[in-house]
Structure 1
Amino acid sequence: MNLSFERLFNKALEKIIEDYKEKGESLSEEILTQAIHNSLDDDLFNNIAENFYQILKDNMYEPLELERLIHTEFRSRIKQRWIRPLALFNSLIIIIEEICTNDINKSNEIKILDENTSEHSLKYYTFMKLLAKQILLAKEIHYLLEGGFADAALSRWRTAHETKIILFIFLKYYDNDKIMNELLTRFNDASIVEEYKECRWHNNSNDNYFKDLKKNYKNLLKKYGESFKFDYEWARPIFDSLSRRIYFKDLEIHVRNHEETLSFYQKANYQIHSSPLGTFDSLGTIDIEGLESPPYIFGPSNLGLRIPGQLEIFTLYETIVTYLNATPSIDTLIYIKTLGKFMNEAFEEFERVEEEIINDELSFSEENNV
């Protein structure tokens, strides 16, 4: 589809000049400007835009279907190439979801009140909410990898990594009821602070729900102090000696030093915040001597799936293993061993497929340069 309306304008301009030449009249800049205004007014542009809009809208389903077919074909090619690591990844997700489902069914921290109502302890409810979020994130990342969107998958992995660290904070104090209850209560209350900060810009001050929300927000600041409005202040009980604000990095260091994922976490930040590096760099391109990716990519790629795939598998594995180790048993030991086998093989398969693709691209490039 050619969208060059400027070319139409230039043709109209040429016709005006030719008409004046045929008449033998001189064409001053003032006359030319007036002629353009007479020929191309706002109504004309509005009419062209309206007609163009209607044509595109009347035919919008055809390109949509074409795009769907192209993407379906592309996803099919990705599955052929990456089928084994993606299948192993998916099996890991299914097993972990089954473990959590079984845990819910046999948990003593859930009381069934009636046919439609149950009561969960705050501790169990928070843990399972974090685990459920991890499983959902893993499914999203798996879907993005199947579609060839490696940068988006890495961005979602960042959320999975943060969720894991928060769960690790709670699990570190699993047997310390005092600190655990304080952290859980503050974490739950922090959600009210976040909701208020989100809603304050677009809610009517006369709305009863917002009035209650604002009241609860102010009561929490009175209870915990003004600093509670900042991120991660729910973790203050374990950072009492820290005089400054708490940052996510402090949570990471508190549970362990995650230097092995630090560079990838920063890379994900660049993608999320559209930094200069996030703009120019992409996992879906090849940066190897002898190979050159297209300068502009408008869609998915079968490259770059290894890094987000391995990162998410490792994060998901660590999350469930740390949770299971909080209440060890023979069953949990078998689960951990089984999951470890899936993780190790998935790592190897992601590595193998990426090497195959790069080698194939190098061979193809050498053949074309001979």
Structure 2
Amino acid sequence: MEKKKEDEKTENSENENDKNSEELREAIEQLFEKFENAPEILRKNNEDMEAFKDRLNILWKDPFDLLELFLMLSTEAGDKFNKENRPIASEQNDYVFEALIRLHAKACLIGQEIITLMRNGYATGAFARWRSLHEIAVISLFINNHGNSAAERYLCYDTIESYRALRDYLEDPDLYKKHSEILGYAPYPFDEIKNIENLRNQLCNQFDDIGKNYGWAAKALGDKSPNFHKIEKNVGLDYLRPFYNMANHFVHAGPRGTVFNMGLLEKEEGHILLAGASNFGMADPGSCMAISLSQVNKALLTMKPDMQTSVFMEITKYLIDEINKQFIEIHKSFDDNKS
């Protein structure tokens, strides 16, 4: 009896294995069929995406176009400011100029990324990139307010960040070798890591508290424990903290970001898993981008104010108001048929 049960068990196991093998073969065949038909499948998918983007960009055309125009004007203003002021700034070791022009260029680059994401239907991705733009606006205004000393520390802090990226390897030299072998990278020369450590130590001797997180801002804040929130409050932009916190959900892997998605209507949250583009949710990233980019412009251009700067700021103020108005109008016009 025991042998009969064992034989039946073996036979059932073999049948199950045969079934699994057959399903595996079918799955492999279907996969190879998709590989063979990949050009046609991708062509159809691209056509569908282009049709979707056409509808999206018709719906949001006016605010998208105005936002892109504002970005173009901002980029041109930054380029002009750089060309006109770099020679004398270099002669005078003007750290404020150097820090702000670099931040402004990065802001314009992020602006391009935000617009690209919105024009392709990715509101949450656009808002996640706005988070970085807000940080640039905060830091730019802080440096503008606190002058050359804060700007010099900010630029020197690049070495502190490089040291922090390599700190684990200084404490455990074998760790980088292990990671390099896994990644297939040549190990970073240990003497160069030590050189960065030496430079970091020199800066810590030169500037009090610079080795701490956001330590470059410690003296200007009058606070030995600086952080971004304190800098944000110092320049009066902490009123945007709720939007900044919301953007964090789209950057990190917390559960809120798996439930809440700007591309979904409120009634869809928690019921639909959005795994692609959407034509909803562009108002917040678009409006926030316009506001933050204007703040970065202000920090840079008011370094050396003139009549042209005043005219530019007035024109862009009107443009931003119109951008915000149009984004809100379209956002409010959504109904179930546009989801």
TM-score (norm 1): 0.75
1:233 aligns with 2:204: no
Cα distance in 2 for residues equivalent to 1:349 and 1:280: 28
1:191 aligned residue: 158
CA deviations 1:86-112 (Å, max 9, x no partner) are 011011111111111211222154589
Equivalent of 2:283 in 306, 318, 324: 306
Larger Rg: 1
What aligned pairs does 1:16-31 form with structure 2 within 5 A after superposition? 28-31=8-11
Query: 1:34 Cα shift?
Result: 5.3
Are residues 123 and 348 of structure 1, via their aligned partners in 2, closer, same or farther at CA, if it must alter by over 3 Å?
A: same
- Determine which structure has the larger helix proportion and give its number: 2
Aligned length, in residue pairs: 320
Partner of 2:54: 76
Gaps of 5+ in 1: 1-23, 113-117, 175-179, 366-370
**Structure 2: which amino acid aligns with 1:167?**
S
Match of 1:317 in 2: 294
Q: CA deviation at 1:35?
A: 5.7
Q: Which residue of 2 aligns with 1:285?
A: 264
* Corresponding residue number in structure 2 for 1:351: 328
User: Displacement, 1:190?
Assistant: 1.6
Q: Which residue of 1 aligns with 2:99?
A: 126
Amino acid of the structure 2 residue aligned with 1:248: F
Kindly indicate whether the alpha-carbon contact (under 8 Å) linking 2:96 and 2:152 is maintained by their aligned counterparts in 1: no
Contact kept, 8 Å, 1:228 with 1:234, in 2: the verdict is yes
- 1:92-241 to 2 correspondence within 5 Å? 92-107=70-85, 109=87, 121-174=94-147, 180=148, 182-199=149-166, 200=169, 201=176, 202=179, 204=187, 206-224=189-207, 228-240=210-222
Change (3 A) 1:56 1:335: same
**Aligned match of 1:16:** none
Q: Are 1:193 and 1:217, in contact at CA under 8 Å, matched by a contact in 2?
A: yes
Runs of 5+ unmatched residues, structure 2: 170-175, 181-186
Query: Structure 1 pair 33/348, CA: closer, same or farther in 2 (3 Å)?
Result: same
Given that 1:109 and 1:120 are in contact with CA atoms closer than 8 Å, whether structure 2 keeps it comes out as: no
Return the alpha-carbon distance in structure 1 between the equivalents of residues 305 and 89 of structure 2.
23
Whether contact under 8 Å (2:63, 2:327) holds in the other structure is: yes
Q: CA deviation at 1:232?
A: 0.6
User: 8 Å contact 1:286–1:293 — kept in the other structure?
Assistant: no
TM-superposed CA distance for 1:25, in Å, is 11
2:247 maps to which of 252, 256, 268: 268
TM superposition score normalised by structure 2: 0.82
Q: CA–CA distance in 2 between the matches of 1:264 and 1:74? A: 28
Which whole-Å deviations, capped at 9, do the CAs of 1:115-161 have from their partners, x for residues lacking one? xxx99843322111000011111111111111111111111111000
Q: Counterpart of 2:261 in 1: which secondary structure?
A: coil
**2: distance between equivalents of 1:35 and 1:28?**
10
The equivalent residue for 2:172 is: none
Query: Any idea what the Cα deviations from partners look like across 1:178-212, whole Å, max 9, x if unmatched?
Result: xx2x3223212221222233344556364554343
Higher RCO (Cα < 8 Å, 6 or more apart): 2
